Amino acid sequence: MGISCKDTNENPVQERGKYVVPYMSDPSPAFFSDNLEESYIQFDLSLTGGETVDKVSLEVVRLRDSKSAILKDVSLPATGLRITANEVLSALSISPSDYNLGDVFNLYVLTTKNGVVTRSTAAHSIVVMCYFDPSMLVGNFYYVSEDWDEEGSVTIEADLEDPYKVYVYGVAESQGLTSNGNPIELNINPNNFNITGPKSVIADNLDDWGFPANYTNHYYQVISGSYSPCDEMYTVVFQIGVDPGNWGNFVFIFTNE
């Protein structure tokens, strides 16, 4: 049951510490977006084996002004527990016009047992980000790498079983190389949009560049990267090399055409 919000730093928790420790799964999605009506996080919440409590409540706090409120009471275990942005704004008495990109809402689990209220270590920070849909990850992109001194058009396709695993086709061809047909694999973390990926060999040799015959298995290895939903843009740092060694790390920026 929600309560009216007081814009105060007052802490309703009577006691801290390991009294009862609920388990919260990693939320997915783990953020709100600027599309308020579509914004929610979802997670599982449970107690460890044999533990019982009298009451479990969810508390929400907006960091930039310390507004706090009890969002609602829940029964455990809860699977697929969904918290919407609209619920949070309503509990905190915040107008949609005061809901901004970059806002951070901390979600806490409060447990009550024998009259003692404990704020659990089970918690999650919800950041307001630009609206995102996995379909934004694919399509025709144009890349530029000032470090590698290359640019060109590529096609990014999603894995048939995982929309957050994508394949970049056309990098070798755009650089005047004969492709072996292998794409560059990128794996996007849906919770924070960080990018990882395996070593992807995209050309068997560099004969087209006039390099020595032992310059084989031309590869791109993801070192770091991120996807920006606001810009529909990938920024990826690749190590680029061949069997004898590598030339170093190079920044590539892919923007949706």
CATH at 74: 2.60.40.10
More confident residue, 221 or 9: 221
Q: Say yes or no: 125 and 142 in one domain.
A: no
pLDDT band at 120 (very low <50, low <70, confident <90, very high): confident
Whether residue 82 lies inside any domain: the answer is: yes
183-200 mean pLDDT: 95
Choose the final residue of a domain: 85, 108, 129: 129
Residue 14, pLDDT > 50, answer no
Total domains, the chain = 2
109-129 mean pLDDT: 88
Question: Strands (DSSP E) along 50-207, which ranges?
Answer: 55-62, 67-74, 78-84, 104-113, 116-129, 139-145, 150-158, 165-169, 184-188, 195-196, 199-205
Closest by CA position to 196, among listed 219, 151, 227, 217? 227
Report the CATH number that the domain containing residue 170 is assigned in CATH.
Answer: 2.40.128
Q: Say yes or no: 28 and 68 in one domain.
A: yes
Q: Say yes or no: 152 and 75 in one domain.
A: no
Whether residue 45 lies inside any domain: the answer is: yes
Q: Say yes or no: 106 and 188 in one domain.
A: no
Strand partners, 144: 151, 253
User: Which letter does DSSP use for residue 86 in this model?
Assistant: H
Whether residue 80 lies inside any domain: the answer is: yes
Q: Say yes or no: 120 and 41 in one domain.
A: yes
Q: What residue numbers bound the domain in which 57 lies?
A: 23-129
49-65 mean pLDDT: 90
Whether residue 17 lies inside any domain: the answer is: no
More confident residue, 115 or 60: 60
Whether residue 91 lies inside any domain: the answer is: yes
Residue 5, pLDDT > 70, answer no
pLDDT band at 191 (very low <50, low <70, confident <90, very high): confident
Whether residue 3 lies inside any domain: the answer is: no
Q: Say yes or no: 54 and 114 in one domain.
A: yes
Would you say 61 and 108 are in contact if contact means Cβ atoms under 8 Å apart? yes
Q: Say yes or no: 116 and 176 in one domain.
A: no
Choose the final residue of a domain: 129, 162, 186: 129
pLDDT band at 151 (very low <50, low <70, confident <90, very high): very high
Whether residue 2 lies inside any domain: the answer is: no
Q: Are strands 116-129 and 32-33 parallel, antiparallel or unpaired?
A: parallel
48-64 mean pLDDT: 90
pTM of the model: 0.79
Quick one: what percent of the chain has pLDDT higher than 90? 81
Q: What is the pLDDT of residue 47?
A: 87
User: Which letter does DSSP use for residue 207 in this model?
Assistant: G
Q: Say yes or no: 145 and 74 in one domain.
A: no
Residue 108 to residues 59, 126, 137, 143, 219: CA-CA distances in angstroms? 5, 11, 32, 42, 45
Strand partners, 158: 166
Q: Say yes or no: 115 and 139 in one domain.
A: no
Whether residue 205 lies inside any domain: the answer is: yes
Q: Say yes or no: 172 and 246 in one domain.
A: yes
Choose the final residue of a domain: 129, 155, 180: 129
Show the tokens assigned to 86. Answer: 């609209």
Residue 12, pLDDT > 70, answer no
Q: Say yes or no: 158 and 182 in one domain.
A: yes
Mean pLDDT of the chain: 91
pLDDT band at 108 (very low <50, low <70, confident <90, very high): very high
Q: Say yes or no: 138 and 79 in one domain.
A: no
